[in-house]
Amino acid sequence: MLDNTAFDLRRYLQGGGHSYGVWLALIALIVFGVLRYENFGGAYNISSFLNYNAMFIVISVGMCFVILTGGIDLSVGSVAAFTSVVAAYLSPMGLQVALPGAVLAGLAFGALNAFFVVAMNIPPFIATLATMLGAKGGALVISGAQTISIDWTSNFTKLGMEQVWGILPWTIVITVLVVAALWIVLERSSLGRVVLAIGGGEDASAMMGLNVTRAKAFVYILSGGCAGLAGVFLASGFGAGQPLEGVGWELSAIASVVVGGTLLTGGMGSVTATVAGALLLGLVFNILNFENGRGTISLSAYWQMVIRGGFLFAVIILQSRLARAAQKELH
Amino acid sequence: MSMASTVCSQFRFDPARHGALAALVVILCFNLIVTPNFLHTQTLFVNISQVATIAIVAMGMTIVIATGGIDLSVGAIMALSGALAPLIFLSPFGLANPGLGLAAAIIIPILAALCCGIFNGVMVSYFNVQPIVATLIFFISGRGLAQVLTNGNLQTISNPSFSYLGTGKILGLPFQGWLVLAIALVLWWLVTRSMFGRQLLAVGGNERAARLSGIPVERVKIGAYVICAGLSGLAGLIVVAINSASDAARIGSLMELDAIAAAVVGGTLLQGGRAPIFGAILGAVIIQLVKYTLLANGVADEVALIAKAAIIIGAVYLQQGRRD
Amino acid sequence: MTDLIEMSGIGKAFAGVVALRDASLAIRPGEVHAIIGQNGAGKSTLIKILTGVYRRDEGSVQMAGEDLTISTPREAQDAGISTIYQELSLVPLRSVTENVMMGYEPRTRLGLIDWKAAHARTREILARFGVEIDVTRQLGRYSTAIQQLVAIARAVSLDARLVIMDEATSSLDDQEIETLFSVVRELKKSGVAVLYISHFLSELYEICDRVTIMRDGRTVATHEVAQTTRLGLVSEMLGRDASEIAAAGQTALSGERSKPGATLLEVDGLGTRTGLRDVSFEIRKGEIVGLGGLLGSGRTESARAIFGLDKLLRGEVRHHAAPVIDTPARAIALGMGFLTEDRKADGIIPHMSVRENITLALLPRLRRFGAVDRARERELVQGYIDALQIKTSGMEQPIRELSGGNQQKVLLARWLALEPEILILDEPTRGVDVGAKFEIQSIIRNQVAKGLAVLLISSEFEELVEGADRIVVLQDGYSVTELQNPGITESALIGAMVHHHERLAS
């Protein structure tokens, strides 16, 4: 018999269930890009690609936790827009204030979602839809519907520009740290196990004496915090707080989570596969940009939305097949 | 007096059931006292023409929610149909044959909307995708498609027949008001009297039992999404007709929220099984009046968003209480 | 000796409806204690108060002489009370280890979960029950029986002093029940008390020491099991005279046996993905065909396949010699009905009225210009309410407000309204009180006398033996033999179910 306690790469890649396809697709796309475009594998493209996608990775991982409990968080985009404004306002006081301040604002929105869902028993998508509206309104109110420039003289600018050890920008380092921490929480802490158990069966989890309330509150607050951090990255990337940004981000995040093989109904999924999903989605657009650059195709920005929808469609169909196959195996 | 007291004793205030009506009364009273010129016919017309689109989409949303689903794509479908209409009668064909062009400009966008509805319905019923996610696909790509079609440009139109949809009057009241009434009557008949309606509520009430009783669950669900999409398409046309212009980025933006809010405020249960059509209209009126009240009293648009969010949360919260 | 658990004077009301009044329960350490009572007697409410799911309105709960305040299942677990519910309260998507250890995982020094230790501990606990499985696999990949044992393993691993088993055997076959009983005896030996809730009186005599009887939210009596008789227990449970019940010994299904008529349905070599391998039998006009077999033998699965709910891999279902039924809608159109086992999940539409529930399957025939013919609908519904004596305040009353027995009658009316040729009844009297049970059985018998053919599935041997003209015995997805009435006895049926099993195995 196999020793099941040993590290099982295949299982790990499958994210505890299925769909290690996301890694294969990611590798295939990278190989394709490297072979086809001259600058694709260059340090500049890699660094700017990661820098740009850091915020999507962060919100996707937060979303992953919410979806694992069988919930959904539609407010991440507007919350990030809101906190980007907060970060811009706080930037004169330096990174050490702006970063925690914006994350705190995100956590507060997350707490609001948690309150709606857990204490008021409102269905997650309605609750987070309302928060999406509220955060959007809030962002417009505090910014006066204008982009708010960051303070270029403060150390806030370091976030996106200063490179740690001369290679990676801070955004990427922070993202890696956050992902690693959340991976540990999901795989190695009992809180993470409760999150997974809730998605597998909320009533059963409660009957087992698990603290369902706490875990559900945790995932929404976490997702809010991740959106808050994404807002900081947004402000740093664009050099300004962007109250109008964030439209459709929830879709990207959901798509990343789903591409990563997490069941939309919850109970099964992984942090690392979600990151792979986010990278895969980002890479599709990166490659489209290169194609546009070569002049072989010419797609307006509007096509991005259409393609994003199409991609989500393809992934959902794929997952519904996988889920059906898994179901057959279970019975 | 004695009659009044018997009525009072029979009428027990239940915030979940009568909350919407009470809210309407409060808003009306507030406006009568505070808002200047509230009793003008102009105010009435403005509100009717704006509430019409919300009400039409909200009725469609009510039908979808009755199956236990949700449709986030309504705003995007409005944008799509709204973008198609001017494209058609500004095309060489439309300019050459004004009559045919007008007919095509109304029929084709609605047909396109119905196709989106079929897509949503098939995703939900045959592919078992959760409604939120299935309709998220068009929520994002539908508007993108509209922008691709128009290249993101604003299209202005001046076609008096088409504009009738938005500005016409019958018996002194806006045409859309009558349209809402007509649609409501048809849908009310459909829900309460027709076989489809019974099947719809059965599917929402207990899908497995409905399937066992021989009800074609998939077709019923697709039907619901098609109705909702068709009504959204119509609403898109009305918006274009009112504005005499079509901007794909803005038509129906955030309409899904208004529609869900209106349906929920009107008493639709999110878990399905009920479809109060006139409740949806009541909900739409409340949403519109709140928006109008804030605007007329100089409160910024953005704050109105927050107010809307609060209404949604409040309505759903009260509804949860009723379920237990 | 102090009682382990002493509940006294417990009262509880839900929205003004009294569920418990002055209920009491005393459990001694290391005993197996049964609670019996009809549906609605208050058994599960009492237990949910004990386990912290509900809060009591009045009364006191003591554990080993000390006042106990429990407000969540977690607190109950920490106090040493573990519950195994009727519906499995585990998470099938997660691994066996997670299900056993959830909430109590062993930690490494860093405070993180030590998976190696967790797996080892789980294996060790399961081994005590003679279960050796791959604990890292998803729980959902194992059989219901294994899952049930995992639930018990979880309870034991929490150092429970009291294990509550709520209808634990209802989804197990005989062999599995035997395993469960040996686990119960094992628990008892190690000083753990077991509170046992079951509808099956025979189980009670097999493993329980004492029994508490409840009726109408009150505790009627507590006895040593050895000093009771079945008749005595039943009479206390029902609040009726023992002699009265003895006289009514027969079920209402038995009666005149008519000559079976023409063949209506031929089931030929069915195989499905749900576990049917080769099931064949036929149903003739005016007879009741029983399906006998242990749980998992393929009874409900056969019914589903015949009704077009599950796809056939092999074989066919011929109706009047013509194939084939592939959807419920088609089955209904051909004159079939299917009263399902799970009333709540597959039967009632809770928001809808009695009227709408009765005519649900009949809708296509009530259609007039796309609308429902309401006059005809009302007339028809009133007819069935009268004929089946459905107790309701009116046909517009939502079905969710009716009692279980009356809901079942409404569902029966739904199918009878179709005037079907063949009616499949899956556990038609499960979970309804004795009175409604007799009524439902006699309704069925009357319809059969008029020519209805019935396919009957029942876990109550009595109902099957007395009711069916023939019993088709199923085993592991095969139809193995057929017994003919008169002449079937319970022991003959059980014998047939087991005997063939051995033959197949060899």
All residues at 6 or more sequence positions from A208 whose CB lies less than 8 Å from its CB, including other chains? A197, C73, C89, C90, C91, C99, C102, C103, C154
Q: Which amino acid is at C35?
A: I
pLDDT confidence band for B8 (50 / 70 / 90): very low
Nearest chain B residue to A135 by CA distance is B306
Indicate whether A10 belongs to any domain. no
What is the CA A151 to chain-centroid distance, rounded? 27
Q: Reduced to 3 states, what is the DSSP secondary structure of residue C268? A: strand
How does strand C5-14 pair with strand C17-27?
Answer: antiparallel
Contacts of A317 in chain B (CB under 8 A): 127
Per-residue pLDDT at A219 exceeds 80: yes
Asked if A302 lies within 8 A of B151 by C-beta distance, the reply is yes
> What's the token pair of residue C283?
């149903």
For residue A189, give how far its alpha carbon lies from the nearest alpha carbon of chain B (Å): 30
Q: How many helices (H) and strands (E) does chain C have?
A: 18, 22
Contact B157, B109 (CB under 8 A): no
Q: How far apart, in Å, are the Cα atoms of C443 and each of C1, C437, C452?
A: 52, 10, 11
Indicate whether A296 belongs to any domain. yes
The answer to which of B99-113, B160-174, C96-110 has the lowest mean pLDDT is B160-174
Nearest chain A residue to C139 by CA distance is A330
All residues at 6 or more sequence positions from A166 whose CB lies less than 8 Å from its CB, including other chains? none
Size of interface B-C (CB pairs under 8 A): 80
pLDDT confidence band for A269 (50 / 70 / 90): confident
Please report the pLDDT score of residue A60 as a whole number.
95
| All domains in chain B, ordered by first residue | 42-323 (1.10.3470)
- Which helix (H) or strand (E) segment is C186 a member of? helix C174-189
* Dist CA A198 CA A69 (whole Å): 5
Q: Residue C471: exposed, middle, or buried by beta-carbon count in 10 A (0-12, 13-18, 19+)?
A: buried
B-interface mutation test, from C339, C344, C351, most B Cβ less than 10 A away? C351
Q: Phi and psi at residue A287, in whole multiples of 5°? A: -70, -35
Please report the pLDDT score of residue C327 as a whole number.
84
Q: How far apart, in Å, are the Cα atoms of A217 and each of A108, A114, A211, C392?
A: 12, 5, 10, 43
Asked if B270 lies within 8 A of A123 by C-beta distance, the reply is yes
Contacts of C151 in chain A (CB under 8 A): none
Nearest chain B residue to C400 by CA distance is B205
Please report the pLDDT score of residue A11 as a whole number.
41
The answer to which of A54-58, B4-8, C371-375 has the lowest mean pLDDT is B4-8
pLDDT confidence band for B323 (50 / 70 / 90): very low
Please report the pLDDT score of residue C366 as a whole number.
86
Write down the CATH number for the domain with range C250-335+420-506. Answer: 3.40.50.300
Q: Where are the domains of chain C?
A: 5-247, 250-335+420-506, 347-418
Range B98-112 average pLDDT: 89
Please report the pLDDT score of residue B247 as a whole number.
85
pLDDT confidence band for B309 (50 / 70 / 90): confident
Please report the pLDDT score of residue A208 as a whole number.
78
A-interface mutation test, from C78, C81, C85, C93, most A Cβ less than 10 A away? C93
Asked if A190 lies within 8 A of C135 by C-beta distance, the reply is no
Overall residue count recorded for chain B in this entry: 324
In DSSP terms, which residues pair with C12 in a beta bridge? C20
Indicate whether A233 belongs to any domain. yes
A189 Cβ under 8 Å from any chain C Cβ:
yes
Range C280-307 average pLDDT: 85
C-interface mutation test, from A1, A2, A4, most C Cβ less than 10 A away? A4
Quote the mean pLDDT of chain A: 83
All residues at 6 or more sequence positions from A169 whose CB lies less than 8 Å from its CB, including other chains? A47, A50, A51, A159, A160, A161, A162, A163
Per-residue pLDDT at C348 exceeds 50: yes
Overall residue count recorded for chain A in this entry: 331
Among candidates B132, B144, B310 on the partner chain, residue whose Cβ is nearest the Cβ of A306: B144
Ranges of beta strands (E only) in C413-469 are 422-426, 453-457
All residues at 6 or more sequence positions from C450 whose CB lies less than 8 Å from its CB, including other chains? none
Contact B143, B104 (CB under 8 A): no
Please report the pLDDT score of residue B311 as a whole number.
84
Q: Domain containing A77: what range?
A: 43-330
pLDDT confidence band for A327 (50 / 70 / 90): low
Asked if C351 lies within 8 A of B208 by C-beta distance, the reply is no
Q: Is the peptide bond before C92 cis (omega within 30 degrees of 0)?
A: no
Nearest chain C residue to B201 by CA distance is C352
Q: Reduced to 3 states, what is the DSSP secondary structure of residue C107? A: strand
Contact C346, B213 (CB under 8 A): no
Q: Which amino acid is at B228?
A: C
Note the maximum CA span of chain C: 77
Q: Reduced to 3 states, what is the DSSP secondary structure of residue C456? A: strand
C216-246: pLDDT as tens digits: 888 998 999 888 887 778 778 767 666 655 5
> What's the token pair of residue C374?
């309401």
Indicate whether A26 belongs to any domain. no
Per-residue pLDDT at A178 exceeds 90: yes
C25-65: pLDDT as tens digits: 999 998 999 998 766 678 888 888 888 888 888 888 888 88
What is the CA B131 to chain-centroid distance, rounded? 17
Asked if B132 lies within 8 A of A125 by C-beta distance, the reply is yes
Nearest chain A residue to B147 by CA distance is A302
Among candidates A126, A132, A303 on the partner chain, residue whose Cβ is nearest the Cβ of B316: A126
Range B80-108 average pLDDT: 86
Q: What DSSP string describes A266-277?
A: SS---HHHHHHH
B145 Cβ under 8 Å from any chain A Cβ:
yes
What percent of chain A is predicted at pLDDT more than 90? 34
The answer to which of B41-45, C276-280, C337-341 has the lowest mean pLDDT is B41-45
For residue A55, give how far its alpha carbon lies from the nearest alpha carbon of chain B (Å): 19
DSSP state of A93: G
In DSSP terms, which residues pair with C263 in a beta bridge? C284
Listed residue (B263, B317, B258, B324) closest to B291, CA to CA: B258
Please report the pLDDT score of residue A316 as a whole number.
76
Q: How many domains does chain A have?
A: 1
Asked if A305 lies within 8 A of B141 by C-beta distance, the reply is yes
Please report the pLDDT score of residue A2 as a whole number.
34
Contact A308, A255 (CB under 8 A): yes
Nearest chain C residue to B215 by CA distance is C329
Nearest chain A residue to C70 by CA distance is A209
Q: Phi and psi at residue C12, in whole multiples of 5°? A: -155, 135
A303 Cβ under 8 Å from any chain B Cβ:
yes
Higher-pLDDT residue of B154, C424: C424
Range B94-121 average pLDDT: 89
How does strand C81-84 pair with strand C162-166?
Answer: parallel
Asked if A129 lies within 8 A of B257 by C-beta distance, the reply is yes
Please report the pLDDT score of residue A56 as a whole number.
93
Per-residue pLDDT at C506 exceeds 70: no
pLDDT confidence band for B197 (50 / 70 / 90): very high
Nearest chain A residue to C151 by CA distance is A208
Contact C83, C73 (CB under 8 A): yes
Per-residue pLDDT at C95 exceeds 80: yes
Range B145-171 average pLDDT: 81
C166-206: pLDDT as tens digits: 777 666 666 777 878 888 888 888 888 999 887 667 778 88
A161-177: pLDDT as tens digits: 777 776 778 888 899 99
Asked if B304 lies within 8 A of A312 by C-beta distance, the reply is no
B116-157: pLDDT as tens digits: 999 999 999 988 888 888 888 888 788 889 988 888 788 887
Give me the CATH number covering residue A105: 1.10.3470
Q: Is the peptide bond before C324 cis (omega within 30 degrees of 0)?
A: yes
A-interface mutation test, from B72, B137, B270, B295, most A Cβ less than 10 A away? B137
**Per-residue three-class SS string for chain B:** CHHHHHHHHHCCCCHHHHHHHHHHHHHHHHHHHHCCCCCCHHHHHHHHHHHHHHHHHHHHHHHHHHCCCCCCCHHHHHHHHHHHHHHHHCCHHHHHCHHHHHHHHHHHHHHHHHHHHHHHHHHHHCCCCCHHHHHHHHHHHHHHHHHHHHCCCCEECCCHHHHHHHHCEECCEEHHHHHHHHHHHHHHHHHHCEHHHHHHHHHHHCHHHHHHCCCCHHHHHHHHHHHHHHHHHHHHHHHHHHHCEECCCCCCCCHHHHHHHHHHHCCCCCCCCCCCHHHHHHHHHHHHHHHHHHHHCCCCHHHHHHHHHHHHHHHHHHHHHHHC
pTM of the model: 0.79
Per-residue pLDDT at B10 exceeds 50: no
CA atoms within 13 A on the CB side of B88: 22
Quote the mean pLDDT of chain C: 82
Please report the pLDDT score of residue A225 as a whole number.
96
Contacts of B140 in chain A (CB under 8 A): 248, 251, 305, 308-309, 312
Range A249-276 average pLDDT: 85
A95-133: pLDDT as tens digits: 889 999 999 999 999 999 999 999 988 889 889 988 998
CATH architecture observed for domain C5-247: 3-Layer(aba) Sandwich (3.40)
Contact B79, B243 (CB under 8 A): no
Q: Which amino acid is at C133?
A: I
Q: How far apart, in Å, are the Cα atoms of B32 and each of B25, B47, B49, B288, C27?
A: 10, 15, 20, 16, 68
All residues at 6 or more sequence positions from C192 whose CB lies less than 8 Å from its CB, including other chains? C30, C156, C160, C161, C162, C163
All residues at 6 or more sequence positions from C70 whose CB lies less than 8 Å from its CB, including other chains? C50, C51, C52, C61, C76, C79, C81
Q: How far apart, in Å, are the Cα atoms of A309 and each of B138, B142, B221, B236?
A: 7, 8, 22, 21
- B-contacting chains (≥3 CB pairs under 8 Å): A, C
Instruction: Tell me, yes or no, if the two domains C5-247 and C250-335+420-506 fold the same way.
Output: yes
- Which helix (H) or strand (E) segment is C150 a member of? helix C144-157
Per-residue pLDDT at C501 exceeds 60: no
For residue B308, give how far its alpha carbon lies from the nearest alpha carbon of chain C (Å): 29
Indicate whether A248 belongs to any domain. yes
Range C254-280 average pLDDT: 77
Indicate whether A29 belongs to any domain. no
* Dist CA C79 CA C100 (whole Å): 18
